[in-house]
Amino acid sequence: MTEADPEPICSVEGPTVDMLVVTDLHLRRTGAKYPVGDLPVEAHDLVLSLGDVIDENRDHAKSTEAGEAYEKRGRAVLERLDQRGVPVLAVPGNHDPVDCTRRLSEGLANVHPLHRTARRVAVEAGWSLTVAGWGCEQFDFTPALLSPHYPDVPVESGAQTPDAVANALLRAAAKYLDGELSRATLAKAVGTEATNPSYETSLARLDARFETLVDLVADVPDPTVLASHVPPFNVPFDVRGQHSHDGDFHFGSVALRIALAATGVDACLSGHTHQRGLTAIPTTSGHSYAHNPGDAGVSSISVSEDGTIHVEQVDVSW
């Protein structure tokens, strides 16, 4: 288990913990500056960045010069947020993965990378909120059991629509992770062969990510928010086309979706797909809210002691 930092990142009077959530700014190396000054930072207890502050980084850009220009702009945004005096938790995105996010935040007193770890916000009323982070470690994030890879997955009835394929994949993967299906039986359930190399790679990815996520949030005090760059699988805001000829498919994380159901985390906040949305995911203990602020999206989110989540959109023009 990855325990939350025993020392709270901040203490608030309550009765709620109020977070300003920002995602997918995708800042270019030139162009308009993001209006950090227009963000209502001081009206919140902390700022949560869900990744992709910049569109490229020096480890992936076509040239070192270009990458450094991108990172300079991202660093400037985090410096301006740091100066506001409110704690900032930064989840690495696939465009600013772990090493890049660490460079962007290095030496900033109020900006803290949040990946495979958790931080705690203490509330004077006697409870605390745990915010756990799961970001990206490299530029490309490939979901396990990618829907377009299994177009022949047997569905219960009707056409092989993206939703039908996603529902079938999700049911089968959940049974596999719960020990009800073997690797070979799961292969049959998704319409492939157990010896398929891409299937074996996908399952290894699924196993590792599910274990990481469950360990990350297991046994931490309620309420808990899981901050992820990528969204959970099979939600309304994880649909996009892989290629122009593929149509629309669900591209969220299967491991994340099943981990949410298994652990009963109160909420999952994510970005990546640039689609704003709010939904509820069934869990073993009720439901988990899932929210994506959208393309260069900003949301104000309040969390109550009982795990109730209130979401409002924040409009920023730039």
Q: Is 122 helix (H, G, I), strand (E, B) or coil?
A: strand
Which CATH number goes with the domain that contains 40? 3.60.21.10
pLDDT band at 1 (very low <50, low <70, confident <90, very high): very low
pTM of the complete model: 0.94
For the stretch 150-176, pLDDT in tens is 877 888 777 778 888 899 999 999 999
Question: In angstroms, what CA-CA distances link 269 with 34, 53, 304?
Answer: 22, 16, 16
- Our count of domains for the chain comes to 1
Residue 235 lies in a domain: yes
Task: Report residue 277 as tokens.
Answer: 């949305």
Residue 63 lies in a domain: yes
Residue 103 lies in a domain: yes
Least confident of 39-53, 80-94, 119-133, 149-163: 149-163
Residue 168 lies in a domain: no
Residue 285 lies in a domain: yes
- Residue 243 is predicted with a pLDDT of 55
For the stretch 263-311, pLDDT in tens is 999 999 999 999 999 999 999 889 999 999 999 999 999 999 999 999 9
pLDDT over 60 at 244, yes or no: no
Residue 305 lies in a domain: yes
- The fraction of the chain above a pLDDT of 70, given in percent, is 96
Residue 72 lies in a domain: yes
Residue 153 lies in a domain: no
Domain enclosing residue 38, as ranges: 10-142+222-313
For the stretch 17-74, pLDDT in tens is 999 999 999 999 888 889 999 999 999 999 999 999 999 999 988 899 999 999 999 9
